[in-house]
Chains A and B, each alone.
Chain A
Amino acid sequence: MAEPMGFYTDTTVCIGCKACEVACKEWNQLPSTNGGLNTLSGDSYDNTRRLDGIHWRHVKFIEQFTEDRKDGRWLLMSDVCKHCVHAACLEVCPTGAIVRTEFDTVVIQSDACNGCRDCISACPFGVIETNPVSGIAQKCTLCYDRLQSGMEPACSKACPTQSIQFGTISDLRNRAQKRVEQLHQAGEKRAYLYGADEKMLGGLNSFYLLVDKPEVYGLPPDPKMPTRNLASASWFSVLGAVLVGLMGVINFRNRGARLEDREEQP
């Protein structure tokens, strides 16, 4: 197996140019609009609005301005699949379509997926959606085809500010840590890394440098695996079956016995 590969996205240097979105669409041959339907969001410069089956990169525009708009800042973040080490989508996928590659990335095999959409509800980040053309669940593949040919993913290649950096996870974590230290020394004490260690779903192979709370970027502060509920939900269901079974047995057996008793009495 090759060394684990991924993205480190430094949101402080993103300029919102959307070159990553365009490069992703070009390389992966994703349609620019959804069947000719292009709806403006009415919200900032963001008309992509969210990650879905035909948008595998999404530059978020978060405007933080005072009421009078005299003071404020832009938070820009190029969002993508996190390629979690403990991947919720892969965990629940009932067809085996979602696999972990030799690069430790998570890929949906388009010839195996049947569009059940269990992975969509499982992903804690809301990354996956159905591609209306193919009818299957689709998301970033971390350009698996390019990786196999020794190339870097299209988005990071196109990024003009090195906000999106591609490399081995160990190297990216070192780079990211140095950047956080640099920002702290420069007075930006809010800078921290999101998902760069094993605590979050075993580690996100696409992690972020953020300067505000995760929720502000639309990221869950505490993403969890869907199977956390499996044991408890199953045992409660067994309890339900036992209770209903008992109610059935009591109602059908007791009454029967009583009738027989009555018939036996002289």
Chain B
Amino acid sequence: MNTFPSSTFFSSPPDWGWLIALYFFFGGLAGGSYFLASLIDLFGRSEDRPLSHLGYYIAFPCVVVSGLLLTLDLGRPLRFWHMLIESNTYRPMLKYWSPMSIGSWALMIFGIFAFVSFLGALADAERIPWPAWRKVHPPSLLGRFIAMIGGIFGFYVAGYTGVLLAVTNRPIWSDTPLLGLLFIVSAASTSAALMILLAKKSSWTMPGLLDLHRMDAWVVALEFIVLIALIISLGPVARAWLNAWGLLLLIGVIGIGMLLPLLLYWRGGKGGVHDMTTTAALVLVGGLILRLVIVFSAQGV
């Protein structure tokens, strides 16, 4: 008789597939981009304001896509509102100890912040003729407040998905407490990468872009450390990755998504060509593969 490394090996996979893996990716981009935008707004220079606008432009569409992906994944999509309102009593439905319950609320509240900041950024950039909306954008006091609270909700949306996976009984997911940490760090690295890619596409040269690039390298290095710590924390369960998924994790996530970008960054810093676009593209691809490996590998066990 086989011995099982953990009691989690007797549960059933929930069949969370592509829609959920993509949600984890886009939800991370939404939360991370908003967080970075608010960080640039609160601590950056005025020349970098287009970069913060870009973060808000990314966050809102990504949060809309996230909501759609989640709704489509439901067995009964028209009942999506049951997450927020108890269908029998029409009272608010909230279980603070259930990450999916509190995450649904967080996603909705973050969606409102993302929408307001999206309009604020458009007004601030004078892309829409509604100057009144500039009040919800930093540097106004209200704008700073919105950016700060929205940034916290953004990070919540980016990270709760990892906690949600930990609060199950599936192998890998519930055998480590580090998935939320990994998803938050990965959300920051992929968001910075996407912002760099889009900024470079518009041939922007503001100094904040270099800051973002440097920060991305730091965050990718942190992400690498967290992933190694996660694998160690799995203990004997890590054997569940001795298959094609583990290989994809090693090559796609660690190799292409972490070590190669770090090497490119390091070479760039040593006087080589600073290929920000390639570095960012690799980080983004690595982040997507990470979500796929985490979501699919634990269900094939």
A contact residues vs B (CB 8 Å cutoff)? 50, 52, 88, 91-97, 109, 111-118, 120-130, 134-137, 213, 215-216, 218-224, 226-227, 229-230, 232-234, 236-237, 239-241, 243-245, 247-249, 251-253, 255-256, 259
Contact between A121 and B219, CB atoms less than 8 A apart: no
Contact between B181 and A91, CB atoms less than 8 A apart: no
Other A-B pairs, 12, CB within 8 Å; known A113-B75, A126-B10, A223-B7 = A95-B82, A96-B86, A96-B95, A116-B83, A123-B12, A125-B10, A136-B76, A230-B99, A244-B155, A245-B155, A251-B218, A252-B211
Docked complex Cα distance between A96 and B43 (Å)? 42
Interface residues on B, range: 35 or more
Q: In the complex, which residues of chain A have a beta carbon less than 8 angstroms from the beta carbon of B210?
A: 255
Docked complex Cα distance between A162 and B119 (Å)? 68
Name B219's contact: one of A91, A118, A236, A244 (CB within 8 Å). Answer: A244
Contact between A120 and B104, CB atoms less than 8 A apart: no
Given contacts A121-B170, A223-B7, A249-B43, is CB(A255)–CB(B211) below 8 Å?
Answer: yes
Docked complex Cα distance between A244 and B218 (Å)? 9
B35-93 contacts to A, CB under 8 A, are 35-36, 39-40, 43-45, 48, 73-77, 79-80, 82-83, 86-88, 93
What are 11 A-B pairs at a CB distance below 8 A? A113-B79, A113-B82, A114-B74, A118-B14, A126-B11, A128-B12, A136-B76, A224-B7, A230-B166, A233-B166, A237-B160
Of B171-179, B248-256, B266-274, B283-291, the one with at least 4 CB within 8 A of chain A:
B171-179
Given contacts A111-B87, A117-B75, is CB(A248)–CB(B3) below 8 Å?
Answer: no
Contact between B211 and A95, CB atoms less than 8 A apart: no
Q: In the complex, which residues of chain A have a beta carbon less than 8 angstroms from the beta carbon of B160?
A: 237
Q: B163 at the A/B interface (Cβ < 8 Å)?
A: yes
Given contacts A112-B87, A121-B14, is CB(A230)–CB(B7) below 8 Å?
Answer: no
Contact between B168 and A92, CB atoms less than 8 A apart: yes
Contact between B12 and A233, CB atoms less than 8 A apart: no
Name A236's contact: one of B12, B48, B181 (CB within 8 Å). Answer: B181
Contact between A229 and B167, CB atoms less than 8 A apart: yes
Contact between A220 and B75, CB atoms less than 8 A apart: no
Q: In the complex, which residues of chain A have a beta carbon less than 8 angstroms from the beta carbon of B13?
A: 120-121
Chain A residue, CB-CB nearest to B83: A94
Name B80's contact: one of A114, A219, A222, A224 (CB within 8 Å). Answer: A114
Docked complex Cα distance between A128 and B101 (Å)? 19
Contact between A233 and B14, CB atoms less than 8 A apart: no
Q: In the complex, which residues of chain B have a beta carbon less than 8 angstroms from the beta carbon of A236?
A: 177-178, 180-181
**B47: shortest Cβ distance to chain A, in Å?**
10
Q: In the complex, which residues of chain B have a beta carbon less than 8 angstroms from the beta carbon of A243?
A: 185, 222
Contact between A123 and B39, CB atoms less than 8 A apart: no
Q: Which of A50, A112, A136, A236 has the most CB of B within 10 A?
A: A236
Docked complex Cα distance between A130 and B160 (Å)? 24
Docked complex Cα distance between A96 and B210 (Å)? 48
Q: B22 at the A/B interface (Cβ < 8 Å)?
A: no
Q: B125 at the A/B interface (Cβ < 8 Å)?
A: no
**A205: shortest Cβ distance to chain B, in Å?**
18
Contact between B215 and A117, CB atoms less than 8 A apart: no
Docked complex Cα distance between A237 and B163 (Å)? 8
Q: In the complex, which residues of chain B have a beta carbon less than 8 angstroms from the beta carbon of A111?
A: 87-88
**B252: shortest Cβ distance to chain A, in Å?**
21
Contact between B7 and A221, CB atoms less than 8 A apart: yes
Q: Which of A126, A129, A130, A234 has the most CB of B within 10 A?
A: A234
Q: B15 at the A/B interface (Cβ < 8 Å)?
A: yes
Q: B261 at the A/B interface (Cβ < 8 Å)?
A: no
Chain B residue, CB-CB nearest to A219: B10
**B102: shortest Cβ distance to chain A, in Å?**
8
Q: B145-189, CB under 8 A of A: which get 1 and which 0?
A: 000000000010001101110111110011001111111110010
Q: Which of B80, B173, B177 has the most CB of A within 10 A?
A: B177
Docked complex Cα distance between A240 and B214 (Å)? 18
Name B4's contact: one of A135, A215, A227 (CB within 8 Å). Answer: A215
Contact between B167 and A227, CB atoms less than 8 A apart: yes
**B297: shortest Cβ distance to chain A, in Å?**
14
Q: In the complex, which residues of chain A have a beta carbon less than 8 angstroms from the beta carbon of B82?
A: 95-97, 112-114
Docked complex Cα distance between A234 and B184 (Å)? 11
Contact between A135 and B167, CB atoms less than 8 A apart: no
The 3 closest A-B pairs by CB, nearest first: A115-B75, A237-B180, A135-B75
Q: In the complex, which residues of chain B have a beta carbon less than 8 angstroms from the beta carbon of A215?
A: 1-4
Name B168's contact: one of A121, A130, A134, A221 (CB within 8 Å). Answer: A121
Q: B98 at the A/B interface (Cβ < 8 Å)?
A: yes
Q: B208 at the A/B interface (Cβ < 8 Å)?
A: yes
Contact between B1 and A92, CB atoms less than 8 A apart: no
Docked complex Cα distance between A227 and B83 (Å)? 19
Given contacts A120-B12, A126-B10, is CB(A259)–CB(B211) below 8 Å?
Answer: no
